[in-house]
Every structure is written in structure tokens, then in C-alpha cells.
Amino acid sequence: MRIIVITGMSGSGKSTAVRALEDEGYYCIDNLPVRLFKSFVDLIGKSGESFKGIVLGADIRGREFFKGYESAFHKITGIGHTVEIFFFDSLDEILVRRFSETRRRHPVDEHCTVAEGIRTERDRLSGLRQIATRIIDTSEFTVHQLKEFILRIVRGEEKENQLIVEVQSFGFKYGVPLESSIVMDVRFLPNPFFVPELKNGSGLDDAVRDYVLDTVVAAQFMDYFFPLLDMLLPAHRQEGKAYLTISIGCTGGRHRSVAIAEATGMHLQELWPLVRITHRDIEKGHT
């Protein structure tokens, strides 16, 4: 039976991964006492129910886990099961921000600061990180991207050095997407908002798209931007990046950025098999 251990830093997305795998057909349980690992695996195996595998969530809250996990894993593999350890991590500043947004205390100690908790947790998890089958850095993932990435891994759809690219439009008035790897500002292009017959449309409409793209400045921009991306994407892949988000913004995220994001995505799809185009703010405003 396939057994996946989901562990790592608090706030790094472990719960998101567990929920995604549960929906995928895995039997998931969180912070089971380590002494019960083998018994639990045996019980599920004898239950007769059909599962793709077992997911064991383990983190700093399960103090006992970190005293006996190596022995528990050895017992499970010794009876013929496969154990994979997915260690979830993120940059310290990202973890601090996530705790701040949710107003949660760090689970290491309710009396310490979040930054102190992160440092302590890193030290306690260092041994487990060293034996991990896979280390997953979630710093630049949205929840949706993380779910997609985890499912690609467990389904065997991920290939070495494969790069998933998301091209998204957005409006600067609603903030720059935090997950952005590359940000491009296209507010210099002619704005359809000031054309009465185009104002209520979007960059997905032919008339709006033509208004934005059929200009000298747009053509010049794409003549520079597309070759730049053609150089940057292989470089990011070479550095081991798994997910790249290209964010293209105008004022409201409805007209210019949408048209340019569509054109950019279609250009990249000719060379990259995994390109997704999204429009974050297309329904929020008409500016």
C-alpha cells in the first residue's frame, strides 16, 4: 500500500495537501500517535475498503511523533509498504505573513512570537527534513496551485524539470497578486474604458481585444515582452522552479490586462504544455 506522510513547517500548506489527497481517494488521518502507525496501516489493509493509499499528517503538535518516527517508518516498510515523506516548507517571511493574516499563535509555544516559533520548529524538524522523499516549497503557491501541484505528483503526471505556468490578469487597484513571479504593468496601453461602446465589455470580447492589440504600442510591447519570456521561462525551469506565475496588470483588471494575458498565454502555449490563463479581477470593476 502507498503511504504518504505529510509533514513540515506550520503554515506551509500541509492541511491543504491533506484535503486534496482525501478528495483524491486516500484515507487521511492527522497527528496519529506514532506508536499506532503500524497498527493503523494493518487495520486499513484488512478493512477491505478500497483506498488509493494512506496519508498520515504529522507536525510539531504531535510531540511523540518526533521521538519515534524512524522506527515507525522502518516497521511499515519492513512489511512491504511504501512510505513517502513530503516535507512542506516556505520562506520565513511568508510563514510570518500567513500567521499574521489568520491571527493564529504558533503551535510551538503560545508564549513565543511567531518568528521565534518558526526558528524553534525548523530546528526540531531538521532531522525529518533530511530524510524526506520530497521537499515542497510553497512560498509562491496559491491554494489552488498547491492542490494542483500535489495531485500531479501523486498521480505521476509530474515530469522532471516540468514547469507549470499561470498567466493571470489583475487590477492594480485591487493589489498585486502576492504569488507573482513576474509582474508586468500594461497601463500605458490605450484604455477601452474611455470608449463608450467598449466600456462595459472585457478583454475577452473581440472588439475590446482588437482595440488594445491593434495599436503600434501594443505590437512594439509584445515584440519585446514575448522574447523576454521565451528566455526567462527556461531559465526558471533550469533553477528547479515548479510553478511560475506571470501577472499582467492594468488599472481595474478588466480590459487591457485581460487582452494582453490572453495573447501572452496563447504565445506560451505554443512552447509550453502546461499553461493556464486566469483573470483575477475581470468581474470586479470596469476601470
Is residue 93 located within the same domain as residue 21?
Answer: yes
Is residue 221 located within the same domain as residue 143?
Answer: no
- What is the band of 287 on the pLDDT scale with cuts at 50, 70, 90? very low
Using the Cα atoms of residue 163, residue 136, residue 104 and residue 119 in order, give the sign of their dihedral: negative
Kindly report the CATH number assigned to the domain that includes residue 49. 3.40.50.300
Is residue 20 located within the same domain as residue 74?
Answer: yes
Residues near 178 by beta carbon (within 8 Å), at least 6 away in sequence:
none
Note the pLDDT of residue 60.
75
The rounded distance, in Å, linking the Cα atoms of 51 and 48 is 9
Q: Is residue 65 part of a domain?
A: yes
Q: How many domains does the chain have?
A: 2
Confidence check: pLDDT of 286 > 60: no
Rounded percentage of the chain residues whose pLDDT exceeds 90? 48
Note the pLDDT of residue 159.
55
Is residue 107 located within the same domain as residue 12?
Answer: yes
Domain boundary among 129, 154, 179: 154
The rounded distance, in Å, linking the Cα atoms of 283 and 287 is 11
Express each pLDDT in 186-234 by its tens digit: 999 999 999 999 999 999 999 999 999 999 999 999 999 999 999 999 9
Domain boundary among 121, 154, 187: 154
Instruction: Provide mean pLDDT across the span 58-68.
Output: 71
Note the pLDDT of residue 254.
96
Give CA separation, 102 vs 7, 99, 114, 154, 256, in Å: 20, 5, 12, 29, 33
Express each pLDDT in 143-193 by its tens digit: 888 888 898 889 887 655 578 899 999 999 999 998 899 999 999 999 999
Mean pLDDT over the full length of the chain:
88
Rounded percentage of the chain residues whose pLDDT exceeds 70? 94
Is residue 144 located within the same domain as residue 31?
Answer: yes
Q: Is residue 287 part of a domain?
A: no
Is residue 182 located within the same domain as residue 146?
Answer: no
Going by their DSSP bridges, the two strands 134-137 and 243-250 should be labelled as: unpaired
On whether the CB atoms of residues 52 and 25 are closer than 8 A, the answer is yes
Note the pLDDT of residue 169.
97
Note the pLDDT of residue 171.
96
Give CA separation, 85 vs 2, 4, 120, 170, 188, in Å: 11, 6, 21, 36, 48
Express each pLDDT in 238-279 by its tens digit: 776 778 899 999 999 999 999 999 999 999 998 888 899 999
Domain range for 255: 164-279
Note the pLDDT of residue 175.
93
Q: Is residue 57 part of a domain?
A: yes
Is residue 239 located within the same domain as residue 261?
Answer: yes
SS (H, E, C) 170-232: EEHHHCCCCCCCEEEECCCCCCHHHCCCCCCCCCCCHHHHHHHHCCHHHHHHHHHHHHHHHHH
Q: Is residue 199 part of a domain?
A: yes
